[in-house]
Amino acid sequence: MMKKIAVILMLCMVMSVSFAEAIATKKDVICDNKEELFDWVQTNEYQEKLIWIGDSPPSKTKLAVISNKDTGTWTIIEFNDKYACVLSVGVSSKLVPTKPVGTPI
């Protein structure tokens, strides 16, 4: 009987570890007037240029990726008609060739 309980407990531990759980987080973002923020990002020391833009219907906003292909720096901005917010920034970006669906990254 004790052996069965130990096996059941071990299975429960393994099963609880094997399933990923989504979490919600909060982080501070920098927001400003849309025109001023886009101007600053494209003229600051990183000299990033707009390379991609897309609509986000659920939030009624747009997303933009701004990058400098020479330095690899990048910025992701979410914006509407009036405001823009920097969601993330980084370095070491590169364009990756398009791969068929299901191909590992």
- The token pair that represents 56 in the structure block: 């986000």
Contact 72, 94 (CB under 8 A): yes
32 lies in some domain: yes
- Distance (Å) of CA 74 to CA 1, 27, 91, 98: 59, 19, 6, 19
Q: How many domains does the chain have?
A: 1
20 lies in some domain: no
Q: Is 83 left (phi over 0), alpha (psi -120 to 50) or beta?
A: beta
Residue 5 — very low, low, confident or very high, per pLDDT cuts 50/70/90? low
Between 3 and 71, where is the model more confident?
71
pTM metric for this prediction? 0.69
Q: What is the per-residue pLDDT across 10-53, written as a single tens digit (0 to 9) for each?
A: 555 555 555 568 888 888 888 999 999 999 988 889 899 999 99
105 lies in some domain: no
Contact 46, 98 (CB under 8 A): no
3 lies in some domain: no
Contact 46, 68 (CB under 8 A): yes
